[in-house]
Structure 1
Amino acid sequence: MEFTSRNLKILGKSVIPGATKTIELKIAKLHTMTQLKIPIIVSRSVYEGPTVLLTAGLHGDELTGIEIVRQIIRKGLNYPERGTIICMPLVNVFGFVNQSRDFPDGRDLNRVFPGSANGSLASRFAYRIMNDVIPTVDYVIDFHAGGRSRFNAPQIRIEPNNHELDDLADAFSTQFLLYSNNIDGSFRSSCDKLGKKYLLFEGGKALDINTSIIEEGIKGTVRFLDKLQMLHKNFSVEKPDKKMIYIENSTWIRAQYSGLLHNFTPNGTFVKEGETLGIITDPYGLVEEPILAPNDGYIICENQASIVFQGDAVYHISTQLKDE
């Protein structure tokens, strides 16, 4: 490996080869006049290599992703054998403080990228990330979770027909790979337009810290870094227990009635068309309505709410696997 003499600059701060530095991105003040700062932890090897960005907490209530990146830092996995690893464990500190998905202006940060220097608070922050951080990186892993009651099985989401992303997702290797098109205004879409290779990890649900999902996220990141020859020699790679399942298409099964939700089908289960996944009941013992699988497929998300309303999403099921 070749040594590097190139200093890396983020927000006007230089990080020399072999150094680790925390750079603070100042975003705004609270109405209490308290300045909010986002720590960006930059760790560099003395050897040339790519730059990987690990982000979490884009939605401030998605705690499992925050814990994944925190543990990566705590374990020292962010010290690369070559190249640079940048960690932003908590992007949306506003949402984290308020235990909310959104910014104080009511906007979803993941729908305002690439942002604007003169836009809303969320838009201005997105603009800072895209202009001050993203130009320095080559790869992004962004950690997410489901909504407050919707628990996602561990999955990587990438856009279809991108062979390099396929290879990187294979290296990460979790329970499911879900092909999904980029959404306008999303962090993923904006990174893609700049040529950054982006993996979106989904697992668990909001306002919850799940140990098994955290382990999946950490092990996958280790395999990803090993693929890029960035994993420090002090760490070993644990191969996945099972082959990843590739999902081309999927759909939501929605509640046909309001009532109490009784779930019989855990995440990751393969079900057959017509199989009873759960039931919806009334409180009075008069109604028990089954929720039936519309097709053969894998359950990749389950609604863990006790009460649902008509039209609520209750299960996310695959409808087509790759090469079916």
Structure 2
Amino acid sequence: MPKKITILGEKILPGKTYQIKTDIARLHTRTKIEVPVIVSRAKIDGPCVLISAGIHGDEVNGVEIVRQIVADKYNIPDAGIIICVPVVNVFGFLIKTREFPDGKDLNRSFPGAKNGSLASKFAHFFMTEIVDHADYCIDFHTGGDTRFNYPQVRISDEDTKTFNLAKIFGAKFVKYSSQREKSYRASAVACGKKVLLYEGGKSLDINTQVTNAGVTGILNVLNALGVKEFPSSYNPFIEEEQVIFNESKWIRANASGMYRSVVNNGEPIAKGDVIGLITDPYGFFERKIKSPVSGYIICLNHSPIVNQGDAIAHIAIQNEDS
């Protein structure tokens, strides 16, 4: 007798796929904001994997990754359940902004409260009605503003199983990253979930390299968990050289002006190498920005104009045992 499973008030039967539209809040115009949740259950029991994106409404690369998973029917499991939420923050997605309508960052509002602010109430709903069912969570993000993140997976410290899944995901960079207070990842980990947080690209941008790495990473994980088994001809893509790190350094502009990067994202850099040039618009001033450390570039600022103190590059310092 199959186990009875109910998600968002819907009985989830074996071998069925459901698109459930949640209606938990309205705009000030009283307009409903519905968040589609796609739930697919196999006829065979197995783990539940939650794949989500768009906690920040302007991070559309992740939305595209989850969209492709659903469009190509990779979300139909052979065992267990796959839950896809392509756009968590529909509010922000509608107007291409990071925040919730109340001005709060949803990813600083978890685990939320039943009677809190709009963002807090939504976070509480997401945790209790959706995340609670999951065993594994894969969440997709991008760099903010003009900062482009090279594909990377972030995980919590001292969790061997999550680390192994991060390696299987296949991104070039895996970062042991401290959990931000009140973030979705911190709250899900506190509830015993195994969480992979993928960072790739920049806000309000879709990049093929980033989306391909994200889609392939999902397939690698689903295959490893036995949730979605692919034929023997399936060739999972894993970067030949994966860099594991827990220490990184932001490099900031030492002057204001026009900015031009002279390095490539994802590549190694040595201490003293020039990262970029800052000039004035008139041709009288030029200043080089050099790296104070050796490592790998995992994020570059794509803005052509910077102010003194702006973050222009993020460098991963490789662990000795990776």
Instruction: Give the structure-1-normalised TM-score.
Output: 0.96
User: Residue 212 of structure 1 corresponds to which residue in structure 2?
Assistant: 209
From the superposition, tell whether residues 38 and 75 of structure 1 become closer, same or farther in structure 2 (CA, over 3 Å).
same
User: Residue 36 of structure 2 corresponds to which residue in structure 1?
Assistant: 39
Q: Measure the CA separation in 1 of the matches of 2:219 and 2:8.
A: 28
SS at match of 2:67: helix
Deviations along 1:236-281, one digit per CA (max 9) or x if unpaired, are: 2423242311112001001111111101111111011101111111
Shift of 1:93: 0.5
Deviations along 1:57-83, one digit per CA (max 9) or x if unpaired, are: 000000000000000000110011100
User: Residue 79 of structure 2 corresponds to which residue in structure 1?
Assistant: 82
SS at match of 2:103: coil
2:228 to 228, 231, 248: 231
User: Residue 280 of structure 1 corresponds to which residue in structure 2?
Assistant: 278
> In structure 1, what residue type is equivalent to 2:6?
K
Q: Measure the CA separation in 2 of the matches of 1:161 and 1:15.
A: 34
> In structure 2, what residue type is equivalent to 1:57?
G
Q: Is the 8 A contact 2:47 2:80 kept in 1?
A: yes
| CA RMSD between the two structures | 1.3
User: Residue 136 of structure 2 corresponds to which residue in structure 1?
Assistant: 139
SS at match of 2:46: coil
User: Residue 292 of structure 1 corresponds to which residue in structure 2?
Assistant: 290
> In structure 2, what residue type is equivalent to 1:212?
Q
Q: Measure the CA separation in 1 of the matches of 2:45 and 2:26.
A: 38
> In structure 1, what residue type is equivalent to 2:181?
D
Seq. identity, %:
46
Deviations along 1:206-254, one digit per CA (max 9) or x if unpaired, are: 0000011000000011000011011144682423242311112001001
2:5 to 5, 8, 11: 8
User: Residue 101 of structure 1 corresponds to which residue in structure 2?
Assistant: 98
Q: How does 1:218-257 map to 2 (within 5 A)?
A: 218-233=215-230, 236-257=234-255
SS at match of 1:199: strand
Shift of 1:31: 2.2
SS at match of 2:161: helix
1:51 to 32, 40, 48: 48
Q: Measure the CA separation in 2 of the matches of 1:192 and 1:26.
A: 26
> In structure 1, what residue type is equivalent to 2:105?
D
Shift of 1:320: 3.8
Q: Measure the CA separation in 1 of the matches of 2:197 and 2:73.
A: 22
Q: Measure the CA separation in 2 of the matches of 1:165 and 1:233.
A: 21
Shift of 1:161: 1.5
Q: Measure the CA separation in 2 of the matches of 1:24 and 1:286.
A: 58
Deviations along 1:117-146, one digit per CA (max 9) or x if unpaired, are: 111110000000111111111000000000
From the superposition, tell whether residues 237 and 17 of structure 1 become closer, same or farther in structure 2 (CA, over 3 Å).
farther
- Is 1:262 the counterpart of 2:260? The answer is yes
Shift of 1:49: 0.3
From the superposition, tell whether residues 322 and 28 of structure 1 become closer, same or farther in structure 2 (CA, over 3 Å).
farther
User: Residue 308 of structure 1 corresponds to which residue in structure 2?
Assistant: 306
> In structure 1, what residue type is equivalent to 2:159?
N
Shift of 1:319: 2.6
Q: Is the 8 A contact 1:140 1:198 kept in 2?
A: yes
Give ranges in structure 1 of 5+ residues lacking alignment.
Answer: none
Shift of 1:170: 1.2
1:202 to 199, 208, 232: 199
2:113 to 116, 120, 142: 116
Give ranges in structure 2 of 5+ residues lacking alignment.
Answer: none
